[in-house]
Amino acid sequence: MDKMRNSVSPVSRNGKAQKTVSQYLFDCLKLEGITEIFGVAGDYNFTLLDTLERSNGIQFIEGRNELNSGYAADGYARIKGISALITTFGVGELSACNPIAGAYSEHVPVIHIVGAPPEKDQKKHKLMHHTLMDGNFDVFRKMYEQITAYTAVLTPENAIIEIQTAIRIAKEKKQPVYLVVANDIAAMPIIAREAQEQQLRKSNLKTLQAAADQVRQLLECAHRPVILVDVKTIRYGLQTAVLQLADAMNVPVASMMFGKGAFDETHPNYIGMYLGSFGCSEVQSTVENADCIIAIGMVWADTNTANYTAKLNSLITVNIQPDLVKVGEAEYPNVLANDMLHAIQNMSFKGQGLQKKVPLPYNQSNKNTDEPLKAANYYPLFQQMLKMDDIVIVETGTFYNGMAEVRLPSNVTYIGQGGWGSIGYATPSTFGASIAAPKQRVLLFTGDGSLQLTVQEISSMLYYGCKPIIFVLNNNGYTIEKYLNVKTKDQKYNKIPHWSYSKLPEVFGGNVFSAIVRTYGELKQAINQAEIESANRLCIIEMIVEDPMDAPENMKKMRKYMEKQEMQRNMESNKE
């Protein structure tokens, strides 16, 4: 140990030995409501895991690999507000780069803890396993600087300040942070330091008033305002404030794709999903012909705006972000979203509600039980089976697009990775969600191609007693990729090996209810049975869809739009 470390006593003022770095870390995580930490064991994190095993009120949940554990931590954080992940140095943490980058992209706070080689070996620049064999032990932390909101190397001297700082930043920015601790340092007593007092973030009152004045001017001239709800409404806990605003204003409310589940879809003013030119024309007309748009937590990304076919007039849009507001072309920084929403609510604007009921696409149910499975008949069934308080997790791809227009009951938690869009995310995320909310019903909607990427986590679900209902859409390949590629047909790279998905439990050694269905009637019967069986065991329903290009209507509209764009590009290149 260096002179600095010897000069400060590791004994607290009352004479008791201080907690070790790892003990203090886990105690801080427990204070945030984290009762489970995901990850994979490795020799450089043994001290962390040994401490964790001896800790009360928090346990280690081991995944089958670090990629899956990262996705599981992401799913857990979306339920509980924050999560933690432990990996080993180099090989482990690099496997977790994808889910951590996804959490950064999607504003999900994950505390990523890395166990590193002993500090004494690092100081001597020894060539150690799981390194690049160049004696550089800081290279991976530098990589993580690009995909996290904060990084720190823990020592006994800085542990108190750095751990508290990292947790605070993760909560404020709703993004992952990275803490690396050497295996020997993790067992050392922390050195007492005064932690910085955390300041509550507040709006600049003058700026808030200026923004509110401009919004009031917009509303005074408005006859057709609309509220547009998006993903940061969920991430920053603004759902209640938005619901109160909708009740007060009595105007139509639409959701964007990323923000599915941010607003109560049983609300009388809810008109559905705004999907630009790919969605319902009535919703598109209501939003785009509005004379004032109150947009909350909006992310203007390609997959959230239907390839930018969504058209909002920025001059009449009130763009409310977590800590700034933009009204028309004027930007007001340091204004918190909650304060802005309450300010608008207090303006006492009262609209006319809905002029007419907007039809939702899956309200009509099928009566022909022998009809082969297709999107037109199985999405209405899913809509019927959903219940209050369900947790619904949808995989990137066909299900992500189709489930967007399923009307959710009240208080449903809806999880999808629309922005990062990493195929395979949903299955391990379901594992994390099941651990986070063991008493709630969890439903996973995934495709055959997606499941093949991260299927190992079904064994983790069985090992830890999770009981989700899993729907596997077996349509012989990556249908979403086939739709996205309008240049060629029958691509070999979008085909996948044939698996017997309903037989997976035999491999994973679990007691599972499984069914293979090919018709509307068989699916309805399997759902009825799964609703009974899921109280005691995991359920897998494999849906065989004969037409590999069967898809929901919004995907078909997307395909037509992309074909038209490609045709125009070809015509322009031929002219040249």
| Pick from 457, 455, 428, 245: nearest CA to 351 | 245
**26 to each of 36, 58, 181, 191, 282, how far by Cα in Å?**
10, 8, 13, 16, 51
What is the C-alpha to C-alpha distance for residues 22 and 406, in angstroms, rounded to an integer?
A: 45
In the three-class reduction of DSSP (H, G, I as helix; E, B as strand; rest coil), residue 86 is classed as strand
- Provide CB contacts within 8 A for 505, sequence distance 6+: 458, 462, 511, 512, 514, 538, 540
Closest by Cα among 87, 89, 93, 63 to 76: 63
Angstrom CA distances, 460 to 332, 368, 431, stand at: 47, 38, 7
Residue 154 φ/ψ, nearest 5 degrees: -80, 140
Catalytic residues: 43, 66, 129-130, 421, 448, 475, 477, 481
Edge-first strand order for the sheet with 442-447 is 413-415, 391-394, 442-447, 469-474, 538-544, 512-517
Q: Which of 22, 32, 1 is nearest to 115 (CA)?
A: 22
DSSP at 20: B
Sequence-ordered list of residues with C-beta below 8 angstroms from that of 568, at least 6 positions apart, any chain: none
| Alpha helices per DSSP H over 404-447 | 426-436
- Angle, alpha carbons 423-425-426 (nearest 5°): 110
Residues 6 or more apart from 153 whose CB is under 8 A from it? 138, 141, 180, 181
Instruction: Give the sheet arrangement for strand 253-255, strand by strand.
Output: 270-273, 253-255, 225-229, 292-296, 317-321, 324-327, 330-333
CA angle, 452 then 393 then 509, to 5°: 50
Residue 456's beta-bridge partner residues?
A: none
Say if CB 214 and CB 45 are below 8 A apart.
no
Q: Are strands 469-474 and 442-447 parallel, antiparallel or unpaired?
A: parallel
Ramachandran bin of 118, using left for φ above 0, alpha for ψ from -120 to 50, beta for the remaining angles: beta
Pull the structure tokens for residue 442.
């969890």
Which long-range CB contacts under 8 A does 47-51 form with residues at least 24 apart? 47/22, 47/115, 47/183, 47/184, 47/186, 47/187, 48/22, 48/86, 48/113, 48/115, 48/181, 48/183, 48/186, 49/86, 51/20, 51/22, 51/23, 51/26, 51/186, 51/187
- CB neighbours (10 Å) of residue 356? 8
Half-sphere exposure of 34 (CA within 13 A, CB side): 32
Q: How far apart are CA 404 and CA 310, in angstroms?
A: 16
Strand partners, 330: 327
